[in-house]
Amino acid sequence: MDKVVKSANVQAEQIIEWGESQKIETCFDRAERLKPCPIGVSGACCKVCHMGPCRFVGSNAEEDARGVCGATLPTVASRNLVRMAVAGAAAHSDHARDMAFTLLSVANGETKDFRITDVKKLYKVAGILQIEFEGRPVNDVARDVAVKLIEDFGRQKGELNYIRRAPKKTQERWRKWGIVPRGVDREITEAMHRTHIGVDHEPDNLLLSCLRVSLADGWGGSMISTDITDILFGTPMPVKAEASFGIFKEDEVNLVVHGHEPSLAEIIVDVVNEPDMIAYARTKGAKGINLGGMCCTANEILMRHGIPTAGGFTNQELAIMTGLVDAITVDVQCIMPALTELSKKFHTKVITTSHKAKIQGAMHIEYDEHRAKDIARQIVRTAIDNYSNRKQEGSYISDKFPVIAGFSQEYIEYMQGGRWRASFRPLNDAIMAGRIRGVVGLAGCDNPRVPSQGLHRFLAIELIKNDVLIVSTGCGSAACGTAGFLTPEMALENAGPGLREVCEAIGIPPILHLGSCVDNSRILTIATAMAEEGGLSDEIGGMPAVGIAPEWMSEKAIAIGCYFAASGVPVIFGGESPVEASREVTKIMTEGWFEKFRGALHFEPDPEMILSLALDYIDKARETLKLKKYEPGKFGAERVLMDMASRRDLERAAKPHIGIY
Ligand code: NFS
C-alpha cells in the first residue's frame, strides 16, 4: 500500500516522518486518530442550551427532527454557522481594537517605541474618514483617526465608517437587505443574542445576521487593522524574503514570532539588530540572531521587512521539531496548545505574550505597548540564553525558497502606472481583453485533515495555468511561498500565456502575496478600485472574481467567507460543509445570497470541483459583462525565456523602495 502523505509540503513531510520514527505526535497524528463527530461536522448538533445537546439525525431530519424546544435542523445549522462567524469577527476585530489603541497612544505620545511610519497612508485614511489633515501636526491627525476608528467598535446606531468605501451599488444592496453593520461590538452581541435559545429561528433571517456580523469584520475590524498597521509600520511594497524550514540557522540563535498581532514582532525586528544584543548572542557562542515568522505574524513582518517565514498553521509544530528553534513567542490566534508539550522534547522555550492567550507549560512575558522595547529585549535575551541548551536531536532541513511579497493595494496601483498615473486600468484592460481570465483570492488556513498545503498548491498551479491572476493571503500565501511559487519565474514556467505576458510586462509574480488574514480587507478595496476604474462591473458583485479557502478550519475563515459573499464575491471553501445537514441552509447560502448580493458560499471537498466551479463563475461573470470570450492560449503563444538582464531587472523591481505610491 502506498504511504499516505500527510503534508504536500516535501520538507514538512520529511519532518513528519522523522517525528514518526521518534514517536513524536503532531496534529497530523491527532487528525488521523480523532475523526470528526459525524453529527457536529454537518451542523446537525445543537448545544445552545442544556436540555440538549440535541442531535438531528435520520434521513428525514430536515423535515421531521426537532430539538427539545422544537427547533428545526435549518434553524440549528444556521445558528451554528452564525456563531462561527461571530467568533471569527470577534477575533479579527479585537486584534483591530488593540491596533487602534496603539495608534491612539502613539498619537498621545504615551509609547516611546512606536511612531507614525507612513504619514501618506495616515492622510489617505484621514481623507476617507473626512478628517481634516492639511497643515495639522501629524499626531493630531493620528489621534482623530484613532478616535474615529475606535468609535466603530462601540457605535450603537448608524453605519461603520468604512461602509462608504464600498461601491455605491454594493452599499445599496446591504441597505436594502438590512445588513449594514452599525458598530462591531453591537453586531457581535446581537448575533450572539439571536442565537441564544428561543430567539431567532428563521434560517434566512439568521443567515442575514451572519452576513451583517461578517461585514463588521471585513469592512470593520479587518480593514481597520490593515490600515492602522500600515500607518504605524508602513504600507507594504515588494520585498524579497525566504520561506520554509531552511530559514533556521545552525550557528545562530533562532527566534520565531507566531500568531497574528504585529506590534511586538515589529519591535523584535528592531531589537534583534541592536549591536548589544548581537554581541550578547556572540558571548553565548552564536554567530548572530536569526528572526523567523510563523502564520500571520510572519506575514506581517515578511510584507514589511522581508523577515523569512517558516510557513503556516500546520508547520508550527514541525518548526520546533527541527530542533533549531531557541524560542517561539506567540501572541493570539491559530496557536496550537500542543506546542508546550512538544517543546519539552526539545529545548525550545514557548513564550506567551498576551493576557488573552496563555498556555499551560509556557513561559509568560506579557506584552505592554508602553514598554515594548524592554519586553522585546527580555524575549530576545531569553532566546539567546537558551541557545546553549540546544540538543543534537531534531530533523534538520535546509531547503528554503525565495519569495517576493509585499503587494498592497497602493503598490498594485503604483506598479500599473507609476507615481503620477497609478491606476487599475491596465489590470481591468487585461481582464476585458481576456489576457487575464479573472482573479481568484486564494486564502485561509492549511489543514492536517487533507495533505496539508496540497490543495492550495494544486489550485495555485491550475488557476495560473488558466490565466487566472491570484491574490493570496495568510496560510494560502505561506503554502505558496514554501513551495517556491511566489516568484516572477513562476509566471514564466507555469502561467498561461496571457497571464504570463501581463506578469512579464509589469515584472510581478502571478500570485501576489497581499499579507496576513486581516489583509483580506485589501482584496475588498482592490475590488472596489477595479469597480471604480470602469469597464468591468460597477459593483464588487459581478466581477470575474472568486474567493477560495480550500483548507479552511478556523472560525475566522467563516467570517471572511461570509463578508466576501455579502460583498458580492462567490466563495468556495474546501472540506465538508458545516451546514451539510440542511439543504435549506445550503440553498440560502448559495442561490439565496447570489440573488441578493451576487456572492455565495459553497463547500466543496473535491479540489477538481473547486477549480471547475471557480472557472465557471469567472466565465459566467465574463459573459454577463459581455467581455471578450476567454480563449485559452490566445495570447503570447511564443514562450519567452528570460535572459539574465531581464532577470536582474525583476530583482531590482523586487527590492524595497520608499515613498513610491
Ligand atoms: Ni487565517 Fe486560518 Fe490562522 Fe492566519 Fe493561517 S490558519 S483563517 S491564515 S494563521 S488566521
56 within domain boundaries: no
Q: In angstroms, what is the span from residue 295 Cα to ligand 1's centroid?
A: 7
Instruction: Say if CB 605 and CB 574 are below 8 A apart.
Output: yes
Beta-carbon count within 10 A of 612 CB: 13
Residue 570 and residue 599 in contact, taking contact as beta carbons nearer than 8 Å: yes
> Do 284 and 360 share a domain, yes or no?
yes
Residues 366 and 279 in one domain: yes
Q: Establish whether residue 334 lines the binding site of ligand 1, counting it when its CB lies within 6 angstroms of any ligand atom.
A: yes
Asked if residue 474 has its Cβ within 6 Å of ligand 1, the reply is: yes
Is 150 found in the same domain as 197?
yes
CA of 517 to the centre of ligand 1 (A): 6
The pLDDT tens digits of the residues spanning 226-250 come to 999 999 999 999 999 999 999 999 9
Same domain, 593 and 449: yes
Residues 373 and 473 in one domain: no
Does residue 218 share a domain with residue 87? yes
**Do 127 and 26 share a domain, yes or no?**
no
- Whether the model clears a pTM of 0.85, i.e. scores above it, the answer is yes
Q: What pLDDT, on a 0 to 100 scale, did the predictor assign at position 660? A: 30
> Would 544 be classed as within a structural domain?
yes
For residue 445, how far is its CA from the centre of ligand 1 (angstroms)?
5
Question: Which residue is closest in CA terms to ligand 1's atom 8?
Answer: 474
Residue 653 lies in a domain: no
Does residue 587 lie in a domain region? yes
CATH of the domain at 418: 3.40.50.2030
Ligand 1 atom with the shortest distance to the CA of 299: 4
Binding site membership of 556 for ligand 1 (Cβ less than 6 Å): yes
Q: What's the domain range around 193? A: 73-233
Closest-CA residue, ligand 1 atom 6, reads 445
Q: What is the pLDDT of residues 2-36, one digit of tens each?
A: 567 899 999 999 999 999 999 999 999 999 999 99
Contact 117, 234 (CB under 8 A): yes
> Is the C-beta atom of 475 inside 6 A of ligand 1?
yes
Residues 518, 639: one domain? yes
Give the residue from 360, 389, 418 where a domain finishes. 389
Does one domain contain both 474 and 532?
yes
Minimum CA distance residue for ligand 1 atom 9: 295
In the chain, what are the helix, strand and coil shares in percent, each to the nearest 5?
Answer: 50, 10, 40
Summary count for the chain: helices (H), strands (E): 28, 15
Question: Does residue 238 form part of some domain?
Answer: no
Cell triple for 155: 457605535
Residue nearest to atom 3 of ligand 1 (CA): 334
Task: Tell me the three cell numbers of residue 243.
Answer: 520561506
The whole-number pLDDT of residue 650 equals: 43
pLDDT (0 to 100) of residue 641: 45
55 sits in which H/E element: strand 54-55
Q: How many CA atoms lie within 13 A of 339 on its CB side?
A: 29
Other C-beta atoms closer than 10 Å to the C-beta of 391 total 9
Task: Tell me the sheet residues that pair with 404.
Answer: 240
End residue of a domain, out of 325, 357, 389: 389
Does residue 549 fall inside a structural domain? yes
Nearest Cα residue to atom 10 of ligand 1: 517
Determine whether the shortest distance from the Cβ of 313 to ligand 1 is under 6 A.
yes
Q: Is the peptide bond before 53 cis (omega within 30 degrees of 0)?
A: yes
Contact 143, 106 (CB under 8 A): no
Are 479 and 512 in a shared domain?
yes
In this structure, is residue 59 part of a structural domain? no
Residue with CA closest to ligand 1 atom 2: 445
Domain count, the chain: 4
pLDDT lower than 70: segments of the chain: 1-3, 419, 636-661
Predicted confidence at residue 643, as pLDDT, reads 47
The dihedral of CA 37, 43, 48, 50: what is its sign? Answer: negative
CATH number for 88: 1.20.1270.30
Q: Cβ(558) to ligand 1 under 6 A?
A: no
Same domain (yes/no): 479, 625: yes
Nearest ligand 1 atom to alpha carbon 295: 9
**In a shared domain, residues 459 and 544:** yes
Query: Does the C-beta of 517 come closer than 6 Å to ligand 1?
Result: yes
- Which residue among 452, 517, 573 is best mutated to probe the pocket of ligand 1, counting the most ligand atoms within 8 A of its Cβ? 517
